[in-house]
Structure 1
């Protein structure tokens, strides 16, 4: 994986996380999920993103 590929994937991940959070916020406002569930899902998404970022960082060739 090159630096430019990592940059593209990082931007894609950032946009995806933004969409997920906006969707969760909408679901919470609609009453479909509780605030506690929102927090758990948000934490899970953050942990997944950190793991993906670490894997991508290792795969970048200097």
Structure 2
């Protein structure tokens, strides 16, 4: 993986996380999910993104 590929993937991941958080906020405001579930999903997403970023960083040549 090159540095340019890592940057592209990082941008895509950040857009996906933003869309996920907006969707979760909307679901919470409509009452479909609770505050606790929102927090758990947000924390899991953050951990997943950190792990993916670490893996991508190690694969840059």
- Number of residue pairs the alignment of both structures matches: 61
How far apart, CA to CA, are the structure 1 residues paired with 2:13 and 2:20? 10
1:28 equivalent in structure 2: 28
Give the secondary-structure state (helix, strand or coil) at the position aligned to 1:33: coil
Structure 1 position 19, deviation (Å): 0.2
Shift of 1:31: 0.3
Q: CA RMSD in A?
A: 0.2
TM value normalised by structure 1 = 0.98
* Unaligned ranges ≥5, structure 2: none
CA distance in 2, matches of 1:58, 1:6: 10
* Pair 1:52-2:52 in alignment: yes
Q: What TM-score, normalized to structure 2?
A: 0.99
**Unmatched runs of 5 consecutive residues or more in structure 1:** none
Alignment partners' CA distance in 1, 2:3 and 2:51:
18
